[in-house]
Structure 1
Amino acid sequence: MLYFTPSSSSLGFSFASKQTIEDVINFSSEIGFGIVVLGKKVKIPINPINYYLKMIKYWKKADIVLATYPYICRPTKDNFLRIWESNLIEKLNGNKFSILYIADLPIEQSISSRKVVDHKAYEIEERIFKSFYSLLVFNENMKKEIQNNYGIDDERFVEFEILDYGVDFVPLPIKQIKRSYKIIYAGALAKNRCSWIKDLPHSDNFVYEFFGKNGEWINGLNRKDIGYKGFLPPDKLSKYASTDCHFGIIVYDPAFIEYLKYVSTSKFSAYMVAGLPILYSSKYSYLSHLVNEYKVGLPISSFDEIPKIIDNLTEQEYNKIRNNCLKLGEKIRQGYFFKKAVSTDLGSERRDNMKFYLGEKV
């Protein structure tokens, strides 16, 4: 069994993507997969030769293949190379038991970002998806979107529900509550994407702290209750957030509301492993589903509701939500959702279905 992945140090990956790449390497290794890292510190497609020679050499040897999309056959490559790579993967997979872990839908994300999508992108994605026997997807919404686009049968899908997030830090089970509260936001902080920060309400009972790249402009807001703290790597951020903060806030551009029904986010997972209850828009349908299922946060319909929600929250109520976050966060930290989906895929019934699908004798 081999897991194929580009190196997280390859150019062009976001911090969230790098985290996911490293996590899947670790989690797949823990359940018995050998790891084949492609293109170490190489900017693909400028120098793709070693990348593809290594892919061909080891893919041919594997009895079971696992890869993550969109990190395999990356959308940042030009169409010519993606077409070539998707054809290569189709041929290499052949009659192998092959699993594609789908961490994102880049076409739908581009549409949400109001970008023009080349029709070739659909053709390439269809070839990739159909060349793998099993597709691991977040939820029913993602499955249906893929089926609407490409007509893939139900039995080819396994749902994994939540993006796992591996950090070494383990939060303390008990946390002393101090008034005032700290609300944290961690992520990309470019001004054109985070202008909403200036609209956050004032309160004597809480402050906001922001972590990430390109957030220096936040200090220019000249608000004592809002501070930019720079960038921290995941382990250090989890430790700080778990020890010193009380809530994680999740905010996205309204254009992404449609896209967010397909995925949970690395931000959600990062807050869970730190034991932070989340504040989030009730318009985020899949996050709302997860929060309702696991009881790990509080919905808001507007920023103006934040002071009232926090002021009315008792320490007992807060600790109950935090304990739910700790339980879910422990699963996320251990790779529970990824491992469960892959283990389900490797079960005898799924393997027999695959043989039937490929026309082999069972």
Structure 2
Amino acid sequence: MSDFVISMYDKTQYEAGPKAKMDVVKFLKKADFKSIIFYFNGARKAELMSIKQVMWDIPREIKKQKMQNVLFQYPAFNERTNNKIIDEVKKKRGTKIFLLLHDVESLRLHRDEPEYIAEEIAFFNKSDGVIAHNEEMVKWLKQAGMIKPIVSLGIFDYDNPQVMVKHDKYERTICFAGNLGKSEFLKKMDSEIPLYLYGPNQADKYPENINYQGSYSPEELPKYLKQSFGLIWDGDSLTECNGIFGEYLKYNNPHKASLYLSSGLPVIVWKQAALASFVEHNGLGITINSLAELDRILADVTEENYREMCNNVRIIGQKIRDGHYITQAIQKLLELN
């Protein structure tokens, strides 16, 4: 009997999409978890591929394995594949299935849809327990009707092959990495502070302090992040994180936070973000109410303050590089069962 991680992702994706799932597989391999991966792609044939997987690939692959504990990286491609994976594992007598929630669509794209929320929570309750991003997500899941054990991850781990940056001095520079197409606030961010952007879908024009640096793979990107801070923000406003993805920050752990910290960069994050308490508790950067405060707040940071943040970041960043958080979370979950 073996422990397994079951994942499904688009292996052709150039962006950071499947990075978090791939890293979980790699880190849990050290804890003797075997891996089953089902693939899809974003083209039109993905829907047809999912029908084939449900009819043939998923049941065949799961049926032949001797499984003790299974961690399913949720979500898979669609509701059909999600349900098939969990139902096939539950057919195996004595096997426990747990979910690592990469995204909770009830908190993202379907926040005001009671029917959808009830269905997603019912799906979570089919498992033997889940790993949620943080305590805010844990609290929401319980309020929404989750009755199975829930463990907080804390932060996502990040397999980072680049050397962690060591800052000799504080330069008051910021970087922002991600899908720039959904980061409308950047077009308004006219500041004294140099801001360096990394990622696809850049705008035609940005304020003068903003410098576009190109788009790189998740493995290459950390090599270029040499700035003083990494910014975590979303939406189209400078005064708050708003819109679907901005509101989602109140509950999720953005993967870019793990990118920055594992690279050795302190972070700047919205005070109302779920991740703010992790940053404050561990002394990993600055939490702010508004981007309009940035010039003043960064001017007040002393060399000594900054050195202390960087020292804290190196400690937590190394844990993130080592897969500490997922390993700890799955151990806690297994103990609860």
Q: TM-score range by the shorter chain?
A: 0.7 to 0.9
> Residue 228 of structure 2 is aligned with which of 229, 237, 246?
246
CA distance in 1, matches of 2:287, 2:26: 33
How far is 1:99 from its partner? Answer: 1.5
CA distance in 2, matches of 1:318, 1:22: 32
Amino acid at match of 1:54: D
How far is 1:83 from its partner? Answer: 8.0
Within 5 Å, give how 1:279-358 maps onto structure 2. 279-284=268-273, 286-347=274-335, 350=336, 354=337
The residue aligned with 2:179 is: 188
Matched, 1:104 2:103: yes
The residue aligned with 1:236 is: 220
Deviations 1:54-100 (A, max 9, x none): 32234233222111112x3x3xx3x6x35862773474355412221
How far is 1:118 from its partner? Answer: 8.1
- Backbone CA RMSD of aligned residues: 2.6
Q: TM-score, with normalisation over the residues of structure 2?
A: 0.85
How far is 1:41 from its partner? Answer: 5.2
CA distance in 1, matches of 2:47, 2:185: 37
Matched, 1:45 2:27: no
How far is 1:199 from its partner? Answer: 2.6
Determine if contact 2:58/2:85 at 8 Å carries over to the other structure.
no
Q: TM-score, with normalisation over the residues of structure 1?
A: 0.80
SS for the counterpart of 2:169 is coil
Greater fraction of residues in helix: 1
Unaligned runs of 5+ in 1: 355-362
Within 5 Å, give how 1:1-362 maps onto structure 2. 1-9=3-11, 15-39=15-39, 43-48=45-50, 51-52=53-54, 53-60=56-63, 61=65, 62-70=67-75, 72=76, 74=77, 77=78, 81=80, 85=84, 88-89=87-88, 91-92=90-91, 95-111=94-110, 117=113, 119=115, 121-122=116-117, 124-153=119-148, 156-172=149-165, 174-177=166-169, 179=171, 181-190=172-181, 193-203=182-192, 206-217=193-204, 220-221=205-206, 223=208, 225-241=209-225, 244-253=226-235, 254-255=242-243, 256=245, 258-284=247-273, 286-347=274-335, 350=336, 354=337
Deviations 1:119-159 (A, max 9, x none): 3x445423431221121112333223223333414xx2222
Unaligned runs of 5+ in 2: 236-241
Higher Cα Rg: structure 1 or 2? 1
How far is 1:266 from its partner? Answer: 0.4
CA distance in 2, matches of 1:301, 1:49: 46
Which moved further from structure 2: 57-66 or 82-91? 82-91
Report % sequence identity: 23
How far is 1:188 from its partner? Answer: 0.9
Determine if contact 2:70/2:96 at 8 Å carries over to the other structure.
yes
Determine if contact 1:89/1:131 at 8 Å carries over to the other structure.
no
How far is 1:20 from its partner? Answer: 0.9
- Distance change (3 Å), C-alpha of 1:215 and 1:304: same
CA distance in 2, matches of 1:236, 1:84: 35
How far is 1:161 from its partner? Answer: 1.3
